[in-house]
A and B are shown apart, each in its own frame.
Chain A
Amino acid sequence: MAEKIDLPEVVVWDGNFAAANALRQAQVDVVSAYPITPSTPIVEGYGKFVSDGYVDGEFVMVESEHAAMSGCVGASAAGGRVATATSSQGFALMVEVLYQASGMRLPIVLCVVNRALASPLNVRGDHGDMYLGRDSGWIQFDAYNAQEAYDLTLCAFKIGEDHSVRLPVMVHQDGFITSHTAQNVYPLSDDDAYGFVGKFKEMDEMLDFTRPVTYGAQTEEDWHYEHKAKQHKALIDSRSVIDKVFEEFEKKTGRKYNRVESYMMDDAEVAIVALGTTVETARLVAKQIREEKGIKAGVVSPRVFRPFPFDDIRDALKNTKAVACFDRSSPGGALGMLYNEVSGALMTLDKMPIMTNYIYGLGGRDLTTQSITEVYEELAKNAKDGKRSGKVQQFLSLRGPKMEYFE
């Protein structure tokens, strides 16, 4: 029986330690890991909890992130509660196995501490790795601070392991800004946390010798499509379970999560759509600019990035006149992903707001309140004039001549 830790009502944890404690409290059976900056302390923390007797689990050191996720697939198929953590290049190396995990419907929890992808090599936070996982068939949650990284990791087990879902879940947090910044966190007691997540309920486990099954079969053109369609449905249908678990979590803690978070959107005419720590900065600016300049500003942010909250995001933005989508990932010759997906949702409205796309913060470049203020001012001008004043895609806080594309 694992030792318990008597936690005070409020603790000072960074995002990594918050996630490590969530793994401890969920009593994860197996963590197979190849540590990488800035997510290292998550698996390191779990490993220490195991060696100190606070978790009845196994920490498996492997030779690469590909092997780390493969180890997770094996342990999960065997029938255990499984998690790991990674970032950036490590995430990129895991990608092949991410698709295996979701295709086999294995409820692995992956804590992703977002970091830029090389080249050039960079350890700071951007959302390149998060975007890389967006077609992998995983549920993806986005935490904007350490408290949320903790809360969402606990929820991730409960949602992914639900027998009507059975999908792997990523919990994203921003590299360094969240992962390494000590903040006040209100944890659940060990008993409450484990009580909320619940005992792992096996399904189709390979260690059931009375019912031998094959995982990871090959299917060609006569079968593959049906399996992938069924998997897509599972991901889309997981929305109701996510909502149910978020409600349960609110009852337990008073902290309410929504698949789309809206801030000051009741009467907002202009809105910023963003992910990660940028959400909190944008909220600060929205409040200020309402008070100082009378601009009816708001912030909309996907809490659940996959399954993409197509209808909720449309509902949140339906009364706006101008919307800016912030993409913290190198767009690679296209418009940013948030711009494309949010525009796709707003296309189904009778009257679409004026859309703009801002690329920002690559490789950890700071996004200042000044930059966000300027964006809100441009949005307010667009809303007032009823037309776009700048180009569709613009780069924020970039040295050199202004980079912008498309009328």
Chain B
Amino acid sequence: MTQDREPGFDTLAIHAGAQPDAETGARITPIYQTTAFVFDDADHAASLFNLEAFGNIYGRIMNPTQAVLEERVAALEAGTAALAVASGHAAQLVVFHTLLEPGDEFIAARQLYGGSVNQFNHSFKKCDWRVVWADAGDPKSFEKAVSDKTKAIFVESLANPGGVVTDLEAVAKVAQSAGVPLIVDNTLASPYLCRPVEFGADIVVHSLTKFLGGHGNSLGGIIVDCGTFDWLASGRYPTLSEPSESYHGIRMAETFGDFGFAIAARVLALRDLGPCISPFNAFQILTGIETLPLRMQRHCDNALGVARWLEAHDKISWVNYAGLEGNSYYELAQKYCPKGAGSVFTFGVKGGFEAGIELVSSCELFSHLANIGDTRSLIIHPASTTHRQLTAEQLVSAGAGEDVVRVSVGIEDLDDIIGDLDQALAKA
């Protein structure tokens, strides 16, 4: 029964985590639209609550449709386990809630999705989790930011709004010297383009809403445990290495080995904070993931075509796409995402802010909305929307200055995508 051949990425995208239903033979994962699950008896119930037996108890904590999604993404990211939650923001909340105590510091790259910047500067600050900013383009800036309070490092592999590729290996070295886990938001790349675990990541997060789900229809987030950090040896993460009060004193990292972090995140943070994913959303996202390899390649091929066309256009002042040979992150893109540099990038229209707004308003194919990673091409002016709540200084640091237009290139016919920008630019 064992085959010598290890299933490839495309096969895992369809099959990992899923099996035909035992009772009906249904091939496709059912949508278990239920909040709770019946126990055999009181002993069975107690075993489940004590984490002695594997199984489903209550929808806030687990669900069988969600479990297939979790195993699928864990397999694609070559992780040991995963935990799906309501959104990418929720994934980040659950990760940090599991790792940090009030007063702890974490280092984060400035080149992040604006929503993460806000989360770190505002809501995390309220929990007294203190962000120390560093520069994704300068790994030494991470070294300088390390203090005896540092408990984690956070970066995006391919940074939003695009054009920046983080030197993951270099940052991973800093994390390793500092004895802290490296958390990588891999949303813009997806495991098809980049697997952060291969470069030293300990935890990977995604907004499933974006490329993994891929169709702009369902919110979700996921945390992947790479199984690489030794929580017991470190001793600085009591949630993982100390006796757990609400579980009769088991130590999560001891009882659950190399997937202890994922279990702790589920049975503690998710249990108590509650940002669970809906079974229906999990199903939608699962279906989307089946075509991830095909979609991502088309996204990247189209994006490169669009970027090249824009670069040559006389109304465009600059294009920031790491897949373009002249881009300062081109070399890193070849190393970390050799199949393609993603499909989210930015450019500047001559005429600045006003011309950018005019362009966005004149598109007839591109949808003007706040999202990325959809089959549909999307366009937005980050400074006035997704990155609006940042200061002017933060905007520039995040790559979302006043004149910046961001596109998420979809998988429509390239001629149609370019044609739309062409006619819109004529008006801008």
- Same complex for A and B? Answer no
Binding site for B on A (CB under 8 A): none
